């Protein structure tokens, strides 16, 4: 772990502010400030409190979640400071509050807050704290809303991306195309970032490419095709060959020659007649602009009778000049069928005109794809190499919110429990350490929570793991490997070494690696096996002691 | 209209940048830039094009949508300019593109773009352009993604808020509490803004309060209650009376006296025994901090046996000192039942202790509320005055995306149509003007699109309104009032007067007024009547002429 941590102090590199400039200490609920005032009035505001940030159920009917958003939380904490303008605004909306409270707020920063967290990009499970935040109670409450906001959507969309990747299969290229349908500008930016972490390969979002260094992809739209009338519009028809050795003076004519050859070819004869001339003009223009990157959207008029033949004529003309066309994109219709027919067309050309590799020209598909449609495509059989996924991915359409919460578990060294009529909503008290225990086959077996003062579980030792609420559910585990889950990302005034914030690429690698480590039955789409989350025997006893203590005895009438 | 428009030129006030600093010309899809390059290479980039921004289906199973996001689009257009840093980034991701193209991009702004739009906050219907954008084709394409991004979520969440308001009823107070569950920081900010436009009364989001001037609301959380042990912790127990005339030296004692009176009262006897002391301590502390604004979350332990009695004891003590408590918030359990029981409790106190108005103390409810639960509460009967709504509202959980599109309808004065196998996806060609025709009862009857050169419909004249695609669907209308829908918000180089951007409050007022104007059967939750959207006879003929011209004749084999 040594190389992953860095010294705190003046030599530590500055942590930049949160990516979105709208993330300020005011991006919180008013009640955090009214509570802060009430704590302050009661002289309680500096009491040391521990809060856990966790979720209760994995999204999308699954049994796993990928944790995202930590870096943004740490950036926020590192730069937490109210400006004078913000203080004045707070004074205006909290009339009657004493001036000294605002003096306190003026001085407040997070130098006395400690944040422990599971590394971003990790696979995580319900009830286990993703973050454990300790500090003066009034201040840590102010962090609740921004932390939950920054983690909720990040984790949700990372998980969604990972799920899409798993269904699509590792051999496919996945492109995130969701910016226009995302929930606002930042919804789009966050989606691009976290889809990349979740295993996508590129985005269409240029701003995200610039800000995060994510690879970009994109070609042209239907409007581009419709904007052309016919190839006569094209004024400059010259194209140099790839190696620069010759100049084709009339590329339009070269394409038309190839189109005619296709129309009269033995294997393609009768498959199509006259193709759409506005589409042909658009393809030729695009190829003249991007001869090295020719990828055409082929469904503006008719995929098999116009788009694909037009694409192939341009691709073959490019081929004659030493270029290799990238491929086609299908954006409507029966994608399985059309991809198979397109592939046949490509292969027929490879064979008839003896162009090695032409049959494997890339086929991309878009149009309202989601986990279900990817799964259906797999079942039907298809020839798609690349998926462009938008709406369902970036808005997490099938479940648009994750329910992360932030619960008080200890104050003044006193453990606190939040009861609820609904057992699944009872919080697990105490300042806790958390471990992942691995079995003989290398898979994680169970996550274990115990009090910070308990001895940590050891490799080879027999450990009792108990369900936190159900007495009968318990098991002994002899771990082959023990991983401590919570690491120190913000040490406050403690002398703990601080984990370095990894690069986006490192977080993406961690996510992909972590997903590989989980036993496949936990990951499957239908009826996945729940992963076990447990507490130590000692913590179990303590939970139930507090529970009985706090819960009022009912009276049946 | 005169007073709503303002002169263009040096005297015009500057339009500020988009609210979110992440909204830049790079917040677009890469293909907009690659197309721009291909247009430029073909010498077509300055061809004048008209695009329509519209949606095909209203969200949430409804028949209406409220248009949001226009102001942000106009702010974006008014400040559209690529920075040198952005140009350099584009050069790095578009290798091989000629330098002169980037020179062109360096110079580009929206001074030659015209934006016509329906006013923000208007009720709008499918197929009618919300915005008509005209300008050089390459540039207008660059605007597509940011425009659609800025309008999609804004309109979706405004509509969602309006729907919640309609179900809740006008007499209820609606609070937006969604920041922590929103899709990222900007998802939260946008939701706060557009829920306010849609008719909500306040938000919990402090940053939104500051940025947009939206009223703020908030009290305390469960953690605040759990953080107290018992009233002995409270050190400063003094509280001045509301008029400052007397000082209560032991407010804790005063509360305990009232609690004891309640326990022994005739009407409440036996309803509760010992209340939770940590809760009582929290309530007293909150009241000491906010004697004028005492609102308590009463479900941390048990609503009827602890929360409500504790609240009432504190409220009665406050009352004795001349303060009026605000009310309670319920955040779990059977909200209908608990609100009714709480109201009975309040009324019993009003009667027994003769405290006029106490029975009507406000009851707020939160906890995963949505349209369905509001509707169910109405059917069951309840005593809730105020709703705090979060997750389902701000993430538009029941439908997380609106499908706004941006389609080319004319280039170089040539109308363009986008065909599709799916008739509902065929776009309506031509640069169009749009009208709302009102009937004798004052309700809108139909929206009508016609070409810009057609004479506009006149009051009292018989007008043929045709379904754009279905031949048999047509009707004559004699409008009593004709409203031109598209107004000029960005005149480009034309001499049209520019509509002033209204204040947030004006937009909210428009939304509420517009919703009042629509015939109720279009607005109901179950089986709403579709509102008619039509084209003129002339436009109908033209659509079908183009359609036949463009569509390939199929061959059945």
Within 10 angstroms of residue A552's Cβ, the number of other Cβ atoms is 15
B437 within 8 A of B464, measured Cβ to Cβ: no
Residue B554, pLDDT score:
62
Angstrom distance (rounded) from CA A254 to CA A250:
6
Task: Judge if A258 and A139 occupy the same domain.
Answer: no
Which among A177, A205, A332 has CB closest to B421?
Answer: A332
- What residue in B sits closest to A408 (Cα-Cα)? B223
B5 within 8 A of A168, measured Cβ to Cβ: no
Within 10 angstroms of residue B145's Cβ, the number of other Cβ atoms is 23
**Chain B contact set for A285 (CB, 8 A):** 38, 41-42, 44
CATH number at residue B260: 3.20.20
Please give, rounded to a whole number of angstroms, the shortest distance from the CA of B71 to a CA of chain A: 14
Helices (H), B108-183: 137-168
Please give, rounded to a whole number of angstroms, the shortest distance from the CA of B32 to a CA of chain A: 7
Whole-angstrom Cα Rg for chain A? 29
Which among B97, B146, B234 has CB closest to A42?
Answer: B234
pLDDT for A311-361, tens place per residue?
999 999 999 999 999 999 999 999 999 999 999 999 999 999 999 999 999
Confidence of residue B1 (pLDDT cuts 50, 70, 90): very low
Confidence of residue B4 (pLDDT cuts 50, 70, 90): very low
Percent residues over pLDDT 90 in chain A? 89
In terms of DSSP bridges, do strands A48-54 and A131-136 run parallel, antiparallel, or are they unpaired? antiparallel
Task: Judge if B306 and B341 occupy the same domain.
Answer: yes
- What residue in B sits closest to A421 (Cα-Cα)? B333
- Per-residue pLDDT, averaged over A67-94, amounts to 97
Task: Judge if B136 and B242 occupy the same domain.
Answer: no
In terms of DSSP bridges, do strands B295-297 and B327-330 run parallel, antiparallel, or are they unpaired? parallel
- What residue in B sits closest to A404 (Cα-Cα)? B181
The β-bridge partners of B411 are B49, B414
Within 10 angstroms of residue B514's Cβ, the number of other Cβ atoms is 19
φ, ψ of residue B20 to 5 degrees: the values are: -90, 120
Which run of H or of E encompasses A484?
strand A481-484
pLDDT for B92-132, tens place per residue?
999 999 999 999 999 999 999 999 999 999 999 999 999 99
Residue B190, pLDDT score:
95
What b-and-e string marks burial along A15-45, b requiring 16 or more CB atoms within 10 Å of the CB?
Answer: beebbbebbbbbbbbbbbbbbbbbbbbbebb
Task: Judge if A27 and A131 occupy the same domain.
Answer: yes
Whole-angstrom Cα Rg for chain B? 29
Closest CA to B213 of B505, B507, B18, B510: B505
Token digits for A83?
């400006």
Confidence of residue A556 (pLDDT cuts 50, 70, 90): low
- What residue in A sits closest to B367 (Cα-Cα)? A403
Please give, rounded to a whole number of angstroms, the shortest distance from the CA of A438 to a CA of chain B: 33
Q: Is the pLDDT of residue B370 over 90?
A: yes
Residues whose CB is less than 8 angstroms from the CB of residue B109 and which lie 6 or more positions away in sequence, other chains included: B80, B81
Three-state DSSP at A168 gives: helix
- Per-residue pLDDT, averaged over B62-83, amounts to 97
Token digits for A238?
């010259």
Task: Judge if A315 and A377 occupy the same domain.
Answer: yes
In terms of DSSP bridges, do strands B444-451 and B532-535 run parallel, antiparallel, or are they unpaired? parallel
Tell me how far the alpha carbon of residue B235 is from its chain's centroid: 45
In a domain, B201, yes or no: no
Task: Judge if B404 and B380 occupy the same domain.
Answer: no
A532 within 8 A of A470, measured Cβ to Cβ: no
Task: Judge if A359 and A412 occupy the same domain.
Answer: no
Please give, rounded to a whole number of angstroms, the shortest distance from the CA of B285 to a CA of chain A: 6
pLDDT for B325-338, tens place per residue?
999 999 999 999 99
In a domain, A97, yes or no: yes
**Chain A contact set for B293 (CB, 8 A):** 34
Which among A49, A207, A552 has CB closest to B22?
Answer: A207
Closest CA to B515 of B242, B220, B124: B124
Q: Is the pLDDT of residue A552 over 80?
A: no
In terms of DSSP bridges, do strands A532-535 and A444-451 run parallel, antiparallel, or are they unpaired? parallel
- CA separation (Å) from A484 to A128, A399, A415, B25, B115? 12, 30, 22, 44, 57
Query: What's this model's pTM, rounded to 2 decimal places?
Result: 0.95
Strand order in the sheet with A481-484: A474-477, A463-466, A532-535, A444-451, A432-438, A481-484
In a domain, B389, yes or no: no
Residue with the two structure tokens 């009364």: B201
Tell me how far the alpha carbon of residue A77 is from its chain's centroid: 22
Angle (CA) B279-B281-B286 rounded to 5° is: 95
Concatenated DSSP letters for B281-324?
Answer: HHHHHHHHH-TTS-EEE--SS-IIIIIHHHHHHHHHHHHHTT--
Q: Is the pLDDT of residue B416 over 80?
A: yes
In a domain, B178, yes or no: no
Please give, rounded to a whole number of angstroms, the shortest distance from the CA of B287 to a CA of chain A: 8
| Chain mean pLDDT for chain B | 94
- Beta carbons of B220 and A422 less than 8 Å apart: no
pLDDT for A409-449, tens place per residue?
999 999 998 877 677 788 899 999 999 999 999 999 999 99
Which among A96, A179, A411 has CB closest to B145?
Answer: A179
Please give, rounded to a whole number of angstroms, the shortest distance from the CA of A220 to a CA of chain B: 5
- Per-residue pLDDT, averaged over B8-23, amounts to 76
In terms of DSSP bridges, do strands A131-136 and A498-499 run parallel, antiparallel, or are they unpaired? unpaired
**Chain B contact set for A154 (CB, 8 A):** 184
- Per-residue pLDDT, averaged over A484-511, amounts to 96
Residues whose CB is less than 8 angstroms from the CB of residue B88 and which lie 6 or more positions away in sequence, other chains included: none
Percent residues over pLDDT 70 in chain A? 96
Strand order in the sheet with B532-535: B474-477, B463-466, B532-535, B444-451, B432-438, B481-484
Angstrom distance (rounded) from CA A274 to CA A263:
9
Tell me how far the alpha carbon of residue A96 is from its chain's centroid: 44
Confidence of residue B310 (pLDDT cuts 50, 70, 90): very high
**Chain B interface test: which of A39, A45, A73, A400 (most B C-beta within 10 Å):** A400
**Chain A contact set for B47 (CB, 8 A):** 227
Confidence of residue A557 (pLDDT cuts 50, 70, 90): low
Residue B556, pLDDT score:
63
Angstrom distance (rounded) from CA B337 to CA B167:
19
- CA separation (Å) from B178 to A80, A355, B80, B161, B206? 22, 58, 31, 12, 12
Domain boundary among B355, B384, B413: B384
- Beta carbons of A206 and B26 less than 8 Å apart: yes
Confidence of residue B11 (pLDDT cuts 50, 70, 90): very low
**Chain A contact set for B416 (CB, 8 A):** 226-227
Task: Judge if B286 and B359 occupy the same domain.
Answer: yes
- Per-residue pLDDT, averaged over A282-311, amounts to 96
In a domain, B447, yes or no: yes
- What residue in A sits closest to B282 (Cα-Cα)? A38
Task: Judge if A223 and A366 occupy the same domain.
Answer: yes
Token digits for A295?
């990828």
B255 within 8 A of B202, measured Cβ to Cβ: no
- Per-residue pLDDT, averaged over B391-409, amounts to 96
| Chain mean pLDDT for chain A | 94
Which DSSP category does A307 fall into? I
Which among A34, A234, A421 has CB closest to B218?
Answer: A34
Number of folded domains in chain A?
Answer: 2
- Per-residue pLDDT, averaged over A490-503, amounts to 94
B5 within 8 A of A193, measured Cβ to Cβ: no
**Chain B contact set for A149 (CB, 8 A):** 179-182, 184-185, 188
Which among A207, A306, A406 has CB closest to B26?
Answer: A207
Q: Which of A72-76, A144-148, B158-162, B267-271 has the lowest mean pLDDT?
A: B267-271
- Per-residue pLDDT, averaged over B303-330, amounts to 97
First to last CA, chain A: 59
**Chain A contact set for B137 (CB, 8 A):** 227
Domain boundary among B361, B384, B407: B384
pLDDT for A442-487, tens place per residue?
999 999 999 999 999 999 999 999 999 999 999 999 999 999 999 9
Token digits for A126?
């319900």
- Beta carbons of B38 and A137 less than 8 Å apart: no
Angstrom distance (rounded) from CA B467 to CA A370:
33
**Chain A contact set for B92 (CB, 8 A):** none
Task: Judge if B403 and B543 occupy the same domain.
Answer: yes
Q: Which domain holds residue A230?
A: 219-384
- What residue in B sits closest to A98 (Cα-Cα)? B289
- Beta carbons of B207 and A28 less than 8 Å apart: yes
In a domain, B501, yes or no: yes
CATH number at residue B137: 3.20.140.10
Which DSSP category does B180 fall into? G
In a domain, B197, yes or no: no
Interface size, chain A vs chain B, as Cβ–Cβ contacts under 8 Å = 378
Task: Judge if B416 and B350 occupy the same domain.
Answer: no
Angstrom distance (rounded) from CA B35 to CA A220:
6
Exposed, middle or buried: residue A3 (CB in 10 Å: 0-12, 13-18, 19+)? exposed
Angstrom distance (rounded) from CA B432 to CA B449:
6
pLDDT for A168-215, tens place per residue?
999 999 999 999 999 999 899 999 999 999 999 999 999 999 999 999
Confidence of residue B10 (pLDDT cuts 50, 70, 90): very low
Residue B324, pLDDT score:
97
Task: Judge if A238 and A128 occupy the same domain.
Answer: no
Which among B37, B220, B391 has CB closest to A31?
Answer: B220
**Chain B contact set for A21 (CB, 8 A):** 21-22
In a domain, B167, yes or no: no
Domain boundary among B384, B412, B435: B384
- Beta carbons of B179 and A292 less than 8 Å apart: no
A42 within 8 A of B231, measured Cβ to Cβ: no
- What residue in A sits closest to B101 (Cα-Cα)? A289
Three-state DSSP at B364 gives: strand
pLDDT for B336-363, tens place per residue?
999 999 999 999 999 999 999 999 999 9
Angle (CA) A97-A100-A104 rounded to 5° is: 110
- Beta carbons of A234 and B42 less than 8 Å apart: yes
């Amino acid at each position: 772990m040594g190389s992953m941590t860095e010294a705190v102090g003046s030599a530590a590199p500055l942590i930049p502010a949160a990516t979105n400039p709208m993330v300020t200490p005011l991006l919180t609920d008013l009640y955090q400030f009214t509570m802060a005032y009430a704590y302050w009035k009661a002289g309680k505001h500096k009491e040391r409190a521990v809060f856990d940030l966790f979720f209760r159920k994995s999204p999308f009917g699954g049994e796993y979640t990928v944790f995202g958003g930590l870096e943004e939380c740490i950036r926020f904490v590192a730069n937490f400071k109210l400006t004078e303008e913000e203080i004045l605004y707070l004074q205006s909306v909290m009339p009657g509050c004493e001036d000294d409270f605002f003096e306190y707020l003026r001085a407040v920063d997070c130098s006395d807050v400690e944040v422990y967290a599971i590394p971003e990009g990790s696979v995580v499970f319900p009830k286990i704290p993703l973050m454990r935040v300790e500090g003066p109670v009034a201040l840590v409450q102010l962090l609740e809303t921004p932390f939950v906001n920054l983690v909720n959507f990040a984790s949700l969309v990372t998980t969604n991306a990972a799920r899409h990747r798993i269904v699509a299969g590792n051999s496919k290229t996945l492109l995130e195309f969701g910016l226009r349908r995302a929930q606002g500008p930042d919804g789009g930016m966050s989606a691009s970032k976290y889809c990349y972490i979740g295993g996508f390969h590129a985005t269409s979002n240029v701003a995200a490419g610039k800000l995060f260094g994510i690879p970009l992809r994109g070609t042209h739209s239907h409007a581009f095709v419709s904007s052309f009338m016919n190839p006569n519009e094209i004024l400059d028809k010259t194209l140099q060959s790839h190696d620069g050795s010759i100049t084709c003076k009339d590329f339009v004519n070269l394409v038309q020659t190839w189109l005619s050859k296709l129309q009269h070819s033995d294997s393609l004869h009768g498959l199509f007649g006259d193709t759409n001339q506005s589409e042909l003009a658009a393809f030729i223009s695009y190829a003249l602009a991007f001869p090295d990157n020719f990828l055409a959207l082929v469904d503006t008029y008719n995929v098999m009778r116009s788009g694909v033949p037009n694409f192939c004529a341009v691709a073959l003309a490019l081929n004659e000049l030493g270029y290799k066309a990238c491929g086609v994109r299908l954006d409507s219709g029966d994608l399985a069928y059309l991809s198979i027919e397109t592939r046949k067309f490509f292969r027929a050309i490879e064979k008839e005109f003896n162009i090695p590799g032409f049959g494997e020209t890339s086929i991309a598909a878009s149009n309202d794809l989601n986990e279900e449609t990817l799964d259906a495509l797999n079942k039907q059989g298809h020839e798609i190499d690349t998926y462009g996924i938008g709406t369902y991915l970036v808005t997490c359409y099938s479940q648009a919110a994750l329910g992360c919460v932030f619960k008080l578990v200890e104050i003044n060294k006193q453990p606190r429990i939040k009861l609820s009529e609904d057992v699944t909503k009872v919080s697990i008290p105490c300042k806790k350490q958390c471990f992942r225990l691995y079995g003989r086959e290398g898979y994680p077996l169970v996550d274990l929570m115990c009090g910070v003062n308990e001895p940590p579980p050891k490799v080879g030792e027999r450990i009792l793991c108990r369900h936190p609420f159900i007495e009968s559910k318990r098991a002994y585990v002899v771990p082959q490997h023990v991983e401590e889950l919570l690491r120190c990302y913000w040490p406050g005034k403690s002398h703990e070494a601080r984990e370095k914030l990894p690069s986006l690429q490192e977080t993406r690698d961690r996510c992909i690696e972590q997903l590989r480590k989980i036993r496949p039955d936990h990951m499957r789409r239908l009826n996945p096996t729940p992963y076990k989350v447990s507490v130590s025997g000692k913590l179990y006893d303590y939970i139930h002691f507090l529970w009985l203590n706090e819960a009022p005895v009912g009276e049946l009438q």
